[in-house]
A and B are shown apart, each in its own frame.
Chain A
């Protein structure tokens, strides 16, 4: 079982004060999670785990060192603290390190839902059966997961920071595979299982699979695309990873670095990071115990700035937006709750407005070919359709794209009015609408 939020806080404070250094910071992450995995219309993996990790950052002057353990007895904490201090002792001075941050007010909140907490193995099995039933009734095959994550996180430092909260989430995915090359995908992510309907989710995937049977070949080329929220979330995630963090910004490797205050993409594009949004999941403070703030990254198409932590806020002379990851952090501060501002079109209206284009349910295995231009490559998957004269017509085989995303976001046709929460769960998620993009380059096709 995981620690209660108060016990996690007590453990963090105890370890911080047991660290013999000029200052110390402790992050305690205690989690119980479970995942029911199904494939070929039966559950083939049913797993659960519980663990509590404690990480100590010791500070000696401007030198820091980090050690972690998943043991919590006094000896283990003493050993972990000593290892962190020893690491700090060997580190060179870092003139850009301004010390651990001070305590800042954090909204008291719990993101634990009674409905999600009650989603035990039997309920997950029932949900899996309901999802599977939608595919098996059509003679199709379902695969996917139903996962719950329940965690408490506490951050304490010797300067008075003591932040702690608990949260949970439920994530479900389903891939329905048809008999003649069709496949469909649907997913759910949220913190209130009451809004999760397994049969509806399974039905969505199976319906798409049914509709995408007998896919046809299509010549690669530049097309207008309607990207469903799941596909849009991939683009947002890569923008965040490559350019919205202060580290790549400071190093000159971000598309934001030379663009602050200038028009970067279409004026209808506004991207924020907002862990406080009621529609998202995750922590309300970062791994330095600082409050997360709604942070505009691109507003009305104009580059605004990166997310920061205490180190990069000081280094760049920017406000601390509360986006530290656990130390030591090779990525720098990162946005974990990105959202693209909604537009005013329904997905049906977007499709209706396209003479000839392609509808993409989701992408697969997207990766970076040029980090500063955000050139990505990847495949479509599980529901790719030709749009002709304002309607979905022929399902098409999976296509490979190689596309400059910033250029694509400079030619926006419409933005969806409804947004979906998409992500891996466990604290991070993206709020994404559908997007109509006027130019998207497909460079290859499977089969």
Chain B
């Protein structure tokens, strides 16, 4: 891998690049899935290749190939330089990068038990048992359970002298029960929807989830949803569980504080941001209860690393402090625009993608409330759990989320179950209505391994720390 890096950097600079970096990424994955009693797939895969990024004639070029032979690497490096020269024909100013030291280092993510060494029978046994337990309820006509494992080893080198080798393992698991009846299909998931919970870690993380132990409850709740009350259409108080807060942070704070979006680089696809460069330290993003960090050093988080894919060290930065915007997530190219150096947010989806500004672990910092006290302190409203659907406009202002399940709150206690609850709002108004965040006892990091951005599409693995939080005057039951 290191030889290929050296060849790529030499070839790129010889071809005229004023800057070059190269990443060799080797990955392997395994996925097992069970659906309604049937083993739907046992699949594994591997991938190896190199991505070469250059600045030539003042513009970016990027070429990637799976051919790691000397010829293949040289051809890719030459192509990257040619692409940069073509891009330069429309350039108005040469690309300038904020400084970073040359690092020669290694970093490894946590993993106690290598999941790739666990017998397939043991993995299937957990999935089949959980899947069956959910279907103890007759109304659960479809059930699913899945495990996903990923191991990545990558080497980054730059023409500025960095040479960084990193490795990490990710493990993910989840179960879903679908109750079907009367023209409705209602899902109930554990520990989260959309594939479950994902962490940097090994088999120990899967065991800790106790999928089988939670499956009966999941099935029971799915079945109960069929006869639950519909979500009322009203404006009310909502308390939102940590997993949904994580996605709310992701969509309405994480994405709009990506500096490339603010600058318009994602305008035609993912969109821009309602924020502007001069909003730092002045814009009221939310209430005083809203403090948000971007932290690439959280142990076991999908958003953690030693160095980003530009060779910038992992950092912890404050995006929002006491409700006021304080920073953006940035890259070496974008950070100088706000007079700063990169806070290390550039990551690529594999060897064949150019790094983009991506979230690390973007978290709503914990407050002081105990969850039971928060419910008891709420006279009326709705408690919402687990995302079912998400949508937000191209500036990240107008959002609408649906959850799997809700409960009425009446006189400080949870009441009857609500099916298909949803809520909508405008980002700063919504965060401005936050009057309570639960404490560290209720705070956890949720992995989100499906964050799409960029063209060609890249899927990033990011994470968000969150605890249940309360919001006032929120519109629920939209279109219900």
Chain A residues packing against B (C-beta within 8 Å):
33-53, 55, 65-71, 80, 83, 86-88, 90-92, 94, 96, 121-122, 124-126, 128-129, 132, 141, 143-145, 147, 173-175, 177, 251-253, 258, 327-330, 364-373, 375, 377-379, 381, 398, 400, 402-403, 424, 441, 443-447
Contacts and interface: CB of A to CB of B under 8 A. Distances in A.
A344 B38 CA distance: 47
B264 A40 contact: yes
Contacts of B271: 364
B84 A42 contact: no
Contacts of B389: 367-369, 377
Interface stretch (B212-220, B313-321, B374-382, B393-401): B393-401
Contacts of B59: 43, 46
A373 B183 contact: yes
A369 B82 contact: no
Contacts of B45: 55, 67-69
B390 A367 contact: yes
Contacts of B424: 400, 443-444
Contact of B265 (A40, A52, A94): A40
Contact of A65 (B42, B48, B84): B42
A372 B36 CA distance: 19
B65 A400 contact: no
Given A42-B90, A42-B92, A143-B264, A446 B393 contact: yes
21 contacts: A40-B263, A42-B90, A43-B90, A45-B60, A49-B63, A49-B65, A49-B352, A50-B67, A69-B47, A70-B49, A70-B66, A86-B120, A87-B43, A251-B142, A330-B35, A365-B391, A369-B422, A370-B184, A379-B392, A379-B398, A444-B400
B277 to A, nearest CB: 13
B459 to A, nearest CB: 14
Contacts of B87: 36, 43-46, 125
A50 B49 CA distance: 10
Nearest to B398: A446
Contact of B86 (A125, A175, A400, A445): A125
Interface string B2-46: 000000000000000000000000000001010110111111111
Interface of B: 31, 33, 35-36, 38-49, 51, 59-67, 79-80, 82-84, 86-87, 89-92, 120-121, 124, 141-142, 178, 180, 183-185, 263-269, 271, 352-354, 388-395, 397-398, 400, 402, 420, 422, 424, 426, 455-457, 478-479
Contacts of B41: 66, 327-330
Contacts of B62: 45-48
B441 to A, nearest CB: 32
Nearest to A378: B391
B185 A372 contact: yes
A90 B42 contact: yes
Secondary structure of the A contact surface, majority rule: strand
Nearest to B354: A47
Contact of A91 (B39, B65, B89, B269): B39
Contacts of B89: 43, 125-126, 129
A51 B352 contact: yes
Contacts of A70: 46-49, 66
A147 B392 CA distance: 26
Which of A48, A145, A372, A378 gathers most chain B CB within 10 Å? A48
Contacts of B47: 53, 69-70
A94 B36 CA distance: 12
Contacts of A173: 268-269
A372 B142 CA distance: 14
Contacts of A68: 43-46
Contact of A145 (B36, B79, B455): B455
